[in-house]
Amino acid sequence: MDLADLWFCVIAVLWLGYLFLEGFDFGVGMLMPVLARDDTERRVMINTIGPVWDGNEVWLLVAGGATFAAFPGWYASLFSGTYLLLLLFLVALIGRGVAFEYRGKVDSDRWRRWWDRVIVAGSLVAAIGVGLLVATTVLGLPIDADGNRVGSPFAAVTAESLLGAAALVGFALVHGSVFIALKTDGDIRHRARAFAIRVGPWALLPLAGLLVVVQLTSGKWWTWTAVAVVLVVAALAFERLTAGREGQAFAALGVAVVATVVALFGALYPNVLPSTVDPAFSLTVADTASSPYTLEVMSWVALFGTPAVLVYQGWTYWVFRKRVSTAHIPPVHVP
């Protein structure tokens, strides 16, 4: 394995981390009007991700930065080809981030309800955007021999990429509801578990469909094995959830994320962005990689920097590992 292949794997791992962490993050935001019955319960839901949501988004920033540095050709074609979709996605991320910070600044039900809508809409739009981006990366974009997009600014919006958007939204709903059941106590915990058991199998159908489409398009025998792992551990997650073991169900969904990334990026390799115009125009790892010197410098930086980031983020989750209930929520206080 050369450094270009190594950094392809590193970027896949960064996407894995982002999908796992931000998956339940988006799910919590989308489920606020479904699981919470009053403002106190909405505050409980927000507090489950309050200390970690911004750290979760760092994985996306690092994935984008690593793509820019290690594979500038991939970065240029993908990001310019999906420019408007990325803009909507980033606006949604900014909106939900502002909403988390501002909803408690004024002691007004109307004020909080307005920002709650921004959280829900931002989480939904951002999940759709991530799904579209991942599906477009794996299934391809209409690009010419120079790596330029052919067609309209919304050429990335196809039936297959919309399936990817539905897959991400469905998974986020399941992942988020299991996370809420794991991190809360009382009525909201029971509602979250019931929602995941009742809706979860249906919500994961688009993900199963996306994996099958990708494998039929460019899959390999061992990526089919990863798809089988996704199906098995998803079934295990629901079985564990039914037994009231939310932690084990959450861990099983984590394995499902790992297997999903293996299936998608394994089917993509050695391409980094297939061309739907002509397979000969597809961008590959070898074609788009930076110089060996650049990749070597990046590898040394990552070798020393990554452990520090992982330790810090792991410590954050450990500190805030306890369950949250309405009994832990103090009265609203606006300075």
HEC sequence for 54-106: HHHHHHHHHHHHHHHHHCHHHHHHHHHHCHHHHHHHHHHHHHHHHHHHHCCCC
The residue among 165, 179, 319 whose CA lies nearest residue 249 is 179
Cα-flanking dihedrals φ and ψ of residue 273, to 5°?
-155, 100
Q: Which among 277, 290, 289, 275 has a CA at the least distance from the CA of 218? A: 275
Which pLDDT band, with edges at 50, 70 and 90, does 104 fall under?
Answer: confident
User: How many of the other CB atoms lie within 10 Å of CB of 330?
Assistant: 7
CB 176 within 8 A of CB 219: no
Tell me, what's the pLDDT at 333?
57
Closest CA to 183 of 256, 86, 99, 250: 250
Cβ neighbours of residue 12 closer than 8 Å, sequence gap 6 or more: 261, 262, 265
Going along 136-275, which residue ranges are E strands? 271-273
Find out whether 124 and 169 touch, Cβ atoms under 8 Å. Answer: yes
Task: Please report where in the chains the tokens 């998974």 appear, as a residue.
Answer: 171
Averaged pLDDT of the chain = 92
**Helix (DSSP H) and strand (DSSP E) numbers for the chain:** 13, 2
Closest to 158 measured CA to CA, from 114, 87, 210: 210
> What pLDDT does residue 332 have?
64
E-strand stretches of 196-248: none
pLDDT of 273 higher than 90: yes
Which domains are delineated in the chain? Answer: 3-294 (1.20.1630)
pTM of the model: 0.93
Q: Given a cut of 70, is residue 25 above it in pLDDT? A: yes
Tell whether the model's pLDDT for residue 63 goes beyond 60: yes
Centre a 10 Å sphere on the Cβ of residue 287 and count the other Cβ atoms it contains: 16
Helix, strand, or coil (residue 149) = strand
Between CA 320 and CA 311 the distance in angstroms is: 14
State mean pLDDT over 149-175.
92
What's residue 3's pLDDT? 94
Query: What number is the average pLDDT over the span 95-114?
Result: 91
**Regarding beta strands 283-284 and 271-273, do their DSSP bridges make them parallel or antiparallel, or are they unpaired?**
antiparallel
